[in-house]
Amino acid sequence: MKATLSLKIIQEKVKTCKKCDLCGTRTNAVPGIGNQNADIIFIGEAPGKNEDLYGEPFIGTAGKRLDDALKNAGLTRNSVYITNIVKCRPPKNRIPNDVEKSMCNEYLKDEIAIINPKIICLLGNTPYYSILGGKEISKNHGKFISKDNRMYFVTFHPAATIYNQKLVNVFKNDISKLVKKLQKLKTNSVD
């Protein structure tokens, strides 16, 4: 109950947030969405055009690719939590800058603390670099990385599968690997 309420508070804060310049160009801020008891949080880069129009993360073409991979691994969108490094669309979908990322980090930090997921899945270079300082997704995708008592999983941004068809199966396999690891963690845990 507490978690639902607090997620709601973050959502409301995001919707009216004016902490960085992206508030001036957005149509709608895009708060994270999903299950407060989720075992996995997916973190993307920033809202795109459709997300900005409708105020919901990953509802465009990239979102469809993510949904497909989730379904293929036996997960539904409702069972996970999906959010972004920054909650407002950067003009022309440019990569969010350091000021925007740091201003927006408070929300992400709170989302993670409230949900307390077993694994955090980083979708592409922006979240990989922002959270773990990592580079070169193509070399490091499919890895589990522990940092500050949290487990992270690194994979491609689902949009990468639109530009490179070869990545469709690579991405799906990564997400299946993630789900298998989660099942293992849940079988081994006593709670």
Among residues 32 and 117, whose Cβ is nearest to ligand URA? 32
Rounded Cα distance between 94 and 9, Å, is: 28
43 contacts ligand SF4 (rule: CB under 6 A):
no
What x-and-dash track marks residues 124-163 binding ligand URA by CB under 6 A?
A: ----------------------------------------
φ and ψ of 161, to 5 deg: -75, -15
Closest CA to 70 of 32, 133, 121: 121
Which of ligand SF4, ligand URA, none interacts with 80 (beta carbon under 5 to 8 A by kind)? Answer: none
154: its two tokens: 């690194």
47 contacts ligand URA (rule: CB under 6 A):
yes
The residue nearest ligand URA at its CB is 44
Among residues 54 and 72, whose Cβ is nearest to ligand URA? 54
96 contacts ligand URA (rule: CB under 6 A):
no
Alpha helix positions (H), 36-94: 49-54, 61-72
Binding-site size, ligand SF4 (CB under 6 A): 14
φ and ψ of 34, to 5 deg: 140, -160
Q: CB atoms < 10 A from the CB of 45, how many?
A: 23
Rounded Cα distance between 35 and 41, Å, is: 9
Q: How far apart are the first and last CA of the chain?
A: 19
Residue of the chain from 44, 55, 117, 134 that contacts ligand URA (CB under 6 A): 44
Which of ligand SF4, ligand URA, none interacts with 19 (beta carbon under 5 to 8 A by kind)? Answer: ligand SF4
Rounded Cα distance between 7 and 172, Å, is: 29
Rounded Cα distance between 120 and 40, Å, is: 6
Using CB under 6 A as the binding rule, the residues of this chain from 48 to 87 that contact ligand URA are 48, 51, 57-58, 60, 62, 84
Query: Backbone dihedral region of 19: left (phi > 0), alpha (psi from -120 to 50 degrees) or beta?
Result: alpha
Which of ligand URA, ligand SF4, none interacts with 65 (beta carbon under 5 to 8 A by kind)? Answer: none
Using CB under 6 A as the binding rule, the residues of this chain from 82 to 111 that contact ligand SF4 are 86-88, 100, 103-104
Residues near ligand SF4 (CB under 6 A) are 14, 17-20, 22-23, 29, 86-88, 100, 103-104
